[in-house]
Amino acid sequence: MNDGSIARVERAAAEAGLPIAVKRMGQSTRTAEEAAAQCGCGVDQIVKSLVFKGEGSGSLALFLLPGSSRLDVGKAAALFGEPLARAEPRYVRDATGFAIGGVSPLGHRIAMPVYADRRVLGHGIVWAAAGAHDAVFSAEPRALLDAAKAIVADLAVD
């Protein structure tokens, strides 16, 4: 599943005009702290991909945040238009094709809205998961958010 997931990320990036080079780190990049250590960057240069589900509709939404930030679920729900709950790991894997810890901003099996916290734009380069627990890629933040078709908003807990 991992190689297929990584290939899906690479295809989605290419289709969006985002040049990436996926790196297999050999050790886990599941958490922002692990990813930052593997990538040699600050924790906030890691883009976390969090999948939530609408409590009424069951529709999924992806939220992208800097590594040390926490999602303000109230702000996210207001933007999404309904109350949100964290999606179950198995549901995330089945719906997106990615296991928790490898969820990429790009290349999901299903279409879903993508929202990004404005703080992601505060770095020259950011790193994101590339479809596996040890796979990452770097990108210029604006190019990444454009490729993901992300709506930029204030989403983090202040």
98-138: per-residue pLDDT in tens? 998 889 999 999 999 999 999 999 999 999 999 988 999 99
> What is the rounded distance in angstroms from the CA atom of residue 9 to the CA atom of residue 125?
18
Q: Topology of 2-153 in CATH?
A: YbaK protein (3.90.960)
Owner of token pair 């069951």: 58
Q: Which two tokens stand for residue 126?
A: 């950011």
> What pLDDT is attached to residue 82?
97
> What is the rounded distance in angstroms from the CA atom of residue 138 to the CA atom of residue 43?
13
Per-residue pLDDT tens for 55-99? Answer: 999 999 999 999 999 999 999 999 999 999 999 999 999 999 999
Residue 23 vs residues 5, 49, 94: alpha-carbon distances, Å: 13, 18, 24
Q: CB–CB of 107/131 below 8 Å?
A: yes
Calculated CA dihedral for residues 57, 105, 154, 151, nearest 10 degrees = -70
Binned at pLDDT 50, 70 and 90, residue 2 comes out as: low
The domain spans of the chain are 2-153
Choose among 123, 96, 140, 102: nearest CA to 25.
102
Owner of token pair 């009424």: 56
Owner of token pair 């505060």: 122
Q: Evaluate the CA torsion angle 112, 113, 116, 121 in order and state its sign.
A: positive
Per-residue pLDDT tens for 27-61? Answer: 888 888 988 998 999 999 999 999 999 999 999 99
